[in-house]
Structure 1
Amino acid sequence: MTEDVILANATLVLADECVTGGLLIRDGAIAEVTQGAAVPAGAIDCGGDYLAPGLIEVHTDNLERHMKPRPQVAWPLEPAILAHDAELASTGITTVFDALRVGSIPTGSRAPYGKYARPLASRILEMRERGIFRISHFLHLRAEICSETLIQELDEFGPEDRVGIVSLMDHMPGQRQFRDISKYQDYMVGKHGLSQAEFDAHVGDLYDLHERLGAANEEAAVAEGKRLGAVLASHDDTTAAQVDISARHGVRLAEFPTTTDRL
């Protein structure tokens, strides 16, 4: 049975303008767009409120905040995912690419970078299959270049996972997002409570990791992104040289460029 819903007297956010009008929704899809302030019988009068397409969130770490709401506390996956889903829906987001970190530092790290992406992705996909989400969920793998296990973790994913985005994340201190290493120190001390000695040792570990594995990890992440059929994204491009490298990799999406170089 066809079910119609009419939203009238709204401010419609269109591709290139805002107009007063309404929508006829039939069987969950927009069937007609009208203009004018008229409110037909049986319609919902929006009173001039804005009516916009659902937002698409391509990179959010919001889910991690629900998984670990406070230090040393891990929330069960399903309630955390459902809370994340509901929160995004409440803000007008109707599609999200949940950004999951792949690439961990299990040995000798002064900050917790444990593996979690595969089991979390499996739970998201299983919940999506059950139809219990308010919004649409897809996968975005944040490939940490400066890590020990990136290649192994990426290998756990396949085309059947329908990964939408693989982003190349190089968080080595002193460049990109953390060109000012004092800002990185503020971040790490605030988040993980590192002492000065622990912070210095952590930075040294990251420099060593980047020297040993950075180039191989970056090439592997590019290859794995293509194997998975995902869109490649760069992260925190700061210099023209970094933009050129991203272009050579086939990157189609630049996340959070930190300067105006080569825009």
Structure 2
Amino acid sequence: MSSTAQTADTTVTIVDGRVVTPDGVIDGRVEIGGDRITAVGDSDAETDTVIDANGQLVLPGLVDIHGDDIESHLYPRSGARMDTEMALAAADRANVAAGITTKFHAISFELDESADRSPELAATLTDAITDATDLLVDHRLHARCEVTQKRCVEAVIDVIDNDNTDLVSVMSHVPGKGQFRDIEAFRQYYENANDRTAAEAEEMIDERGSMSMATLRERVDRVVDRAHEAGVVTASHDDENPREVEQLADSGVDIAEYPITLETAQRATEIGMTTAMGAPNLVRGESQWGNLSTAAGIDAGVIDTLVADYHPPSLLAGVFVDTEEPLHERVKRATANPADAVGLSDRGRIKAGKRADLIVVDPDPTPTVTAAVVAGQPVYHADTTIEVSR
């Protein structure tokens, strides 16, 4: 996994900021020693580097546990493949500019050539992510396993066994189920969005629609069991009803991503699963597929975590959508809560002793990252009103 290099005795201070702590917003400064926060609030210690926030907000770096935006860097047009390292570097810069300092790339282990997806390509991306050492943010792998395809199940098992992933999710894109409860929606998505012929879309409906639920459950159990044996957190995708999340929880799944209905999200919360919803859904005000809106889930108190999904800027923008909650509570959905959900309790909050991942944000007219610190190292500066002195 990649991370920025940091000299142990380097010190940094962010001054004149409105600091969003776990308990509220305070005026003051944040001091950093090495890769850790050493003090929050009032202090006059001298440091090697001073970042003047000029009255802007200082937030914990965002933690995105599900972002598939690297696909658009790898294939800016369908069939137009770019160099893998170039795509990863571009995603790195785009994410830090969006305030994301810990990135779980949701790599789809799915055989779908017309959508530029295959288990072999997923393995190539896995190697690039795990081998990278010179990127700005902390990059990690979220392996998404299409359980309707045995070949993809085997590929994800290999990734788990090779200790290359920190999060595994199980998904089954089946016509008439989950995201595609309407078979016509499945047909239109795979025919139009992925440039298939009508005959090819019908072939997918026949192939995936004939898969028995017993086979799907056996594959889910196998992947989840292997992940937990390796100490890897697991998630499900597009759960459509309370009974389904109950079965997944019984299998050991930890996180319910994108529950289809409010009742499903409520049940996931009741049985102790973390619930994650897309920030683009919140920013846009609706689900692309007519499913549960993130705002409705938040209003009902059943959404723990926001994820960037396909659009990194929405994760920060989602924090500033008015949900009638204090800012520090909204911030937790994109920082502390996702960090805790995947076992990274060392980050996601501005508190002494925690990892020094911090962003300076100008909230108006649209939330914009003006500076970023990752593991104690200033890595991004994009505003002339923000002064960095050494």
Note whether the superposition's TM-score is higher than 0.5: yes
Alignment-derived partner of residue 66 in structure 2: 59
Alignment-derived partner of residue 38 in structure 2: 31
Aligned equivalents of 1:196, 1:167: Cα separation in 2:
29
Alignment match of 1:12 (pick from 5, 16, 19): 19
Higher relative contact order (CA 8 A, sep 6+): 2
Aligned equivalents of 1:85, 1:44: Cα separation in 2:
22
Alignment-derived partner of residue 142 in structure 2: 140
Which residue identity lines up with residue 46 of structure 1 in the other structure?
Answer: A
TM-score by structure 1 length? 0.86
Contact 1:111 1:202 survives alignment (8 Å): no
Alignment match of 2:189 (pick from 164, 172, 187): 187
> Pairwise mapping of residues 94-113 of structure 1 onto structure 2 (< 5 A)?
94-104=101-111, 113=117
Alignment-derived partner of residue 238 in structure 1: 240
Identity %: 27
Q: How far apart are residue 175 of structure 1 and its match? A: 1.3
SS at match of 2:190: helix
Q: How far apart are residue 103 of structure 1 and its match? A: 4.3
| CA RMSD, Structure 1 to Structure 2 (Å) | 2.7
Contact 2:28 2:42 survives alignment (8 Å): yes
Contact 1:82 1:133 survives alignment (8 Å): yes
Which residue identity lines up with residue 143 of structure 1 in the other structure?
Answer: C
Contact 2:108 2:143 survives alignment (8 Å): yes
Q: How far apart are residue 150 of structure 1 and its match? A: 2.5
Q: Deviations over 1:6-54 (max 9, x none)?
A: 2222111111311211112223432111159x9x998543121110111
Alignment match of 1:118 (pick from 96, 115, 123): 123
Contact 2:239 2:245 survives alignment (8 Å): yes
Q: Which has the larger radius of gyration?
A: 1
Aligned length: 256
Q: Which runs of 5+ in 1 are unaligned?
A: none
Which residue identity lines up with residue 64 of structure 1 in the other structure?
Answer: E
Contact 1:163 1:228 survives alignment (8 Å): no
Q: Which runs of 5+ in 2 are unaligned?
A: 1-7, 270-390
Distance 1:35 1:256, change over 3 A: farther
Alignment-derived partner of residue 81 in structure 1: 88
Aligned equivalents of 2:36, 2:116: Cα separation in 1:
45
Distance 1:253 1:200, change over 3 A: same
Aligned equivalents of 1:22, 1:200: Cα separation in 2:
59
Aligned equivalents of 2:219, 2:259: Cα separation in 1:
21
Aligned equivalents of 2:89, 2:196: Cα separation in 1:
32
